Amino acid sequence: MPFVPHTEDEVRQMLDVIGVATPDDLFADITPEMRPRSFNLPHGQSEMEVCGRLEALAAANRTDVVSFLGAGFYNHHIPKAVDAVTSRSEFYTAYTPYQPECSQGTLQAIFEFQTAVARLMDMPCANASVYDGGTALFESVMMAVRQTRRHKIVVDESVNPIWRRMLATHTRHLPVELVTVPQCVGRSDFAALKSALDDACAAVVVQNPNFFGAIEDYTELFAHAKARKALSILAVYPVMQAVLKTPGEMGADIAVADGQALGMPLSFGGPYLGIMTCRKELIRQFPGRIAGRTTDVDGKTGYVLTLQAREQHIRRAKATSNICSNQALCALRSLVYMALLGPQGLTRVAELGMERARYAVERLTALPGVSLLHDAPYGNETALRLPLPAAEVVERLAERGYVAGFPAGRYYSGMDDVLLLACTEKNTREQIGMLAEMVGGLL
């Protein structure tokens, strides 16, 4: 039997020590009426057979496509050293660092992760990460509700609709009122956001670049929120953050991101990580784990999990959140990724995506009836209006091994002709040229 070491002889000896006759005698509390009515599972298989089965299932997916699909989740090159470092089993077979003396590797890595994302977002504080970007957004909203003791949250409709749906599910039974301000042709409607931001608001939630790729400066909106004693929550795409005006510079109180793009494979939806950063005044509202630097009895520098009085294992029903993990291994991956690329490398990744997206826009808008949805500056992703349904374009090009992008009509009514198109450093000019030719062929 795999992964259980005892020989029959050893089992016998151990049962004798315990003083029972058979292993099943250890389950006497589970009475006959409580035993399984069925347990109709397949027989175990050898490692070779299981690997073969999974290899066949993996092969039933098509990953040799040329893809322009993003919508918040991007296909970046991941340096091989990221896998090499994070596959060290001292990292991945460790538990939560509750015994800090034998967990300094994990703890220092969390501390360094906090430093790296705080610097990237230009915010003073960061936690050890949460499940994903949507969870980070939800937890930020709850921080704002607790801090302001208000319940109304103004959400820009151009925030990723996947995260807005998660936000709705997670706040459903809580005293939180979500007010969604409609986007305006793919951009934030600043006048409407401002008028929704009244003295009852806990926070305003916006995203930069937004779901349609539009890049805005939210400084004035955040000042407006501050004047009403509401908090400003900004979701960002961490790779573009290498070059964009920072949440800190705009005056955000809380800045969050999904960290997938920083070294996580797409992996059909996870695991990813949620990055959370905030102003120092909000630190005690943070959910989840936080590492802090301290010293040991000999005065040597070391790291511990800190501010645990916020957490569920101490505060139980009154905790800031029910979260009792972080995405430690994903946070480590993102830290290694950022360290390998450095400021220059990450800037290049952002710039490569941007210049490829510009080339794609140039080629595609040269086609009859194709135009940019909005006139805002954009990064590596933007939205195009097409003369035919975007879902149809995606379907037709899929036959030829191209994933043309994301049809915005999937989440926005009245946008069936809008295609979100993302580029990363992996998309070549040749591929972009071919995409434009194929789309042209459909018109």
Partner 1 sequence: MKTLFAQSVPGRTGCLPPKPEHAAADMLPAGLLRKSAPRLPELSELDVVRHFTNLSRQNYGVDGNFYPLGSCTMKYNAKFAEYVASLPGFCNLHPLMAQLRGTSQMTQGALECIWEMERLLCEISGMDAYTLQPMAGAHGEFTGATLIAAYHRDKGNNKTKIICPDSAHGTNPASATLAGFEVVNIASRDGIIDPEALEAALSEDVAALMMTCPNTLGLFETHLPRIVEKLRRVDALLYYDGANMNAILGKMRVGDVGFDVVHWNLHKTLGTPHGGGGPGAGPVGVCSRLEPFLPVGRVARQADGNFYLDYDHPKSIGYIAPFYGNFGIMLRAYAYVLRLGGEGLTRVAEHAVLNANYLKKLVEHFLVVPFGRICAHEFVSSAPEGLRALDIAKGLLDRGYHAPTIYFPLIVKECLMAEPTETESKQTLDAYAAALEEIVKQGLSDPRSLHDAPHTTPVRRLDETAAARNMVLTEDM
Query: For residues 94-123, which are near partner 1 according to CB under 8 A?
Result: 94-106, 108-109, 111-112, 114-116, 118-120, 122
Q: Which of residues 191-220 bind partner 1 (CB under 8 A)?
A: 215-217
What tokens does 242 get?
Answer: 């290498």
State in angstroms the smallest separation of the CB of 183 from partner 1.
Answer: 19
Q: Which of residues 21-80 bind partner 1 (CB under 8 A)?
A: 23-24, 26-30, 33-47, 50-51, 53-63, 65, 67, 69, 71-73, 75, 77, 79
Cα distances from 412 to residues 64, 138, 183, 258, in angstroms, run 29, 21, 10, 21
Return the closest-CA partner of residue 79 out of 323, 255, 337, 289.
337
Residue 271 binding partner 1, by CB under 8 A: yes
DSSP 358-370: HHHHHHHHTSTT-
In this complex, which beta carbon is closest to partner 1, that of residue 195 or of residue 294? Answer: 294
Residue 251 binding partner 1, by CB under 8 A: no
**β-strand 254-258 against 274-278: which pairing, if any?**
antiparallel
Q: At 39, phi and psi to the nearest 5?
A: -155, 60
In this complex, which beta carbon is closest to partner 1, that of residue 156 or of residue 425? Answer: 425
Q: Which of residues 326-345 bind partner 1 (CB under 8 A)?
A: 326-330, 332, 335-336, 338-345
Element containing residue 313 per DSSP (H, E): helix 312-315
How far apart (Å, rounded) are the C-alpha atoms in residues 97 and 47? 32
State in angstroms the smallest separation of the CB of 286 from partner 1.
Answer: 9
**β-strand 274-278 against 125-126: which pairing, if any?**
antiparallel
Residue 128 binding partner 1, by CB under 8 A: yes
State in angstroms the smallest separation of the CB of 198 from partner 1.
Answer: 25
Using CB under 8 A, which of 178, 179, 196, 243 touches partner 1?
Answer: 243
String marking each residue 147-166 x if it binds partner 1 according to CB under 8 A: ---------------xx-xx
In this complex, which beta carbon is closest to partner 1, that of residue 149 or of residue 173? Answer: 173
Contact between 359 and 288 under an 8 Å Cβ cutoff? The reply is: no
Residue 414 binding partner 1, by CB under 8 A: no
In this complex, which beta carbon is closest to partner 1, that of residue 11 or of residue 198? Answer: 11
State in angstroms the smallest separation of the CB of 238 from partner 1.
Answer: 10
How far apart (Å, rounded) are the C-alpha atoms in residues 171 and 177? 8
How far apart (Å, rounded) are the C-alpha atoms in residues 354 and 424? 8
Using CB under 8 A, which of 156, 157, 253, 311 touches partner 1?
Answer: 311
Q: At 427, phi and psi to the nearest 5?
A: -85, 120
Q: Which of residues 385-404 bind partner 1 (CB under 8 A)?
A: 391, 394-399, 403
Using CB under 8 A, which of 148, 246, 365, 431 touches partner 1?
Answer: 246
Number of residues that bind partner 1 (CB under 8 A): 208
Task: Tell me how far the alpha carbon of residue 221 is from its chain's centroid.
Answer: 25
How far apart (Å, rounded) are the C-alpha atoms in residues 158 and 151? 21
